[in-house]
Amino acid sequence: MIPKSLEALRYLRHFNVSVNELEGEISSGGCFSNFSAESFRQNHELCGVARLHVLPCRTKHSKSKRKGSYCSVYRGELNDGTDVAVKVFNTLTEEATKSFYAECKILSNIRHRNLTKILSCCSTTDFKALVLDYMPNGNLERWLYSQDCCLSMLQRLNIAIDIASALEYLHCGLTTPIVHCDMKPNNILLDEDMTAHLCDFGIAKIFEQDMHMAQTKTLATIGYMAPGKKPTDDMFGETMNLKCFVGESLRRKSLMEVLDSDLIRDVEQFSEVVQQFVSSIFCLGLECLKDCPEDRMSISNIVDSLRKAKIEYLAIRGKAEKVV
């Protein structure tokens, strides 16, 4: 949806959100009174006044299909030509306002190559936004589940190392640890070099010294071990989940059942050593998902293991390619 709060941008002269699959009502006040139909073309779920060539909006008593989201993200360009991402928060909801202040507090005090960088912020009564580095390659969700995108084994290892390094910094590299609380592919962004950056700290928690670890148990999203199948796949129910599915497949030595189909050809054309290596990566993932937190590997050990795995994989591939 297009946030109504954008009406408050008095100096906004040019606006184009065409071909974006947007929905909801186009505001008619403020700067929006100057925009033409060209600004909104090919957004078939938008509604508004007739001059914008969109459907008329339903009456106010009709129910909306989906609830007002916390924020919308736009691509912008600064005067010097720098591309930026502008995250505009829906100031009509208390949750969005809390999310804005949480991100400001956390992002302004952390620095790491694998975390999104805040460039500036804007906060008034009616308008709240963050200006962030623009990530041209989008989010990891798109690369894992889109038919148009494919990641190589090496790219996946690099992304895993990047995000593990970001978590190691948040958990161990700060005086006061930070718990992200919403780890999922949508919140991992990729820059022009395919370097991964962890984003969206709207529900993150600063772990004060007097807080007990049990307080974080209710904060997390459903666990992910993408790719392959999503944890919300229809095949998973009360007796089967993604972790059990992977564990059982590895015990039966049925690697291809759990491997992303985009990688099967890449793995099959090399020796059994490569397949054993891939199995070890899945085992590392399972180590991170043990039911008891005390039994899981520390994040520092995970980073070390992934870096060693990358070196091992490069050596295996190098030998295999020489044979070919």
Asked if the peptide bond before residue 227 counts as cis, ω within 30 degrees of 0, the response is yes
Burial grade of 146 (CB within 10 A; 0-12, 13-18, 19 or more): exposed
DSSP H or E stretch at residue 243: helix 242-251
* Catalytic residue of the set 182, 191, 266, 304: 182
**Residue 129's beta-bridge partner residues?**
88, 122
Concerning whether 182 is annotated as a catalytic residue, the answer is: yes
Cα 155 to Cα 8, 194, 195, 314, distances in angstroms? 42, 8, 9, 12
Q: How far is CA 5 from CA 30, 56, 76, 91, 240, in A?
A: 10, 21, 17, 7, 45
Q: CA angle at residue 261 from 258 to 264, to 5 degrees? A: 90
Q: Which stretches does DSSP call E strand in 203-316?
A: 205-206
CA gap 251, 133 in Å, rounded = 43
Catalytic residue IDs:
182
